[in-house]
Structure 1
Amino acid sequence: MISPLKDNGLFITYAFLTPGVKHKDIEKIILSEYEKIINNGVKKKELDRAKAQTRATVAFSRDGSYAVASAINEAIAIGDWTFYTTFINKIESVNEKTIQTVAKKYLLEQTSTTGWFVSKQVKEN
């Protein structure tokens, strides 16, 4: 999910494994998907879907006077109250090229931190 804060922090990708699936195999698939984005970008349809999900999330997060006040206070806390009113426009300005440029900078295995949760009852081969 995209956070409506100025400094988002972590970008997290996660997967839930079914029994018998190995962590290293899923990690390879995720890194492969990153490579596809780096090399080919994303399709407009995918980006439009993500924007629609973000608009909906923001709308629901601003439902009610307390939620609106909280969101405005967050914008004030980052030093720009107008961020509350401009966030959706900033999301709408993202295009396929922007995604690919950011992916080339940040979706790199050598700059990532990967963790696996392995149940004590399951042995990883």
Structure 2
Amino acid sequence: MEQRGSGSLLAQPLRPPSPARAAAYLGLFVLGAVVAVAGALVQAGWFPGGLLLALAGAAGLFLGGARAAGSRAGAVAPVAGWMITVVFLTATRPEGDFLFGAGGGSYLFLLGGMAVAVICATLGGGRRPGADTARLGK
């Protein structure tokens, strides 16, 4: 590996994910969509307990995906599925039907879900250097 003058290693180039990892990310994306639909139905039914349950379910999926995949991409895949589904659920149709009402609980679900997504993606494990390149305290 090549070193710079400061002694740090150059960043390794990114490789495309393996087929198994790509399938896992696709599965997490679909789970994010399922959790979004379930959360949209539950949050309005049992307010405020349903809202907390919906956000806890989303947080569990986002953080669990990050831990299972061992990377932040494991959190980003279900977040993408969740956000795309929520945006489609908020759009009105020509018939006038839509899933979310104009109440405060719907806005708390949308904004709270986005906040939970950012927190879980931040907490999800990022790239870590291997044991041979990490400098341990003396």
TM-score range, shorter chain: 0.3 to 0.5
State the TM-score, normalized to the length of structure 1: 0.37
State the TM-score, normalized to the length of structure 2: 0.35
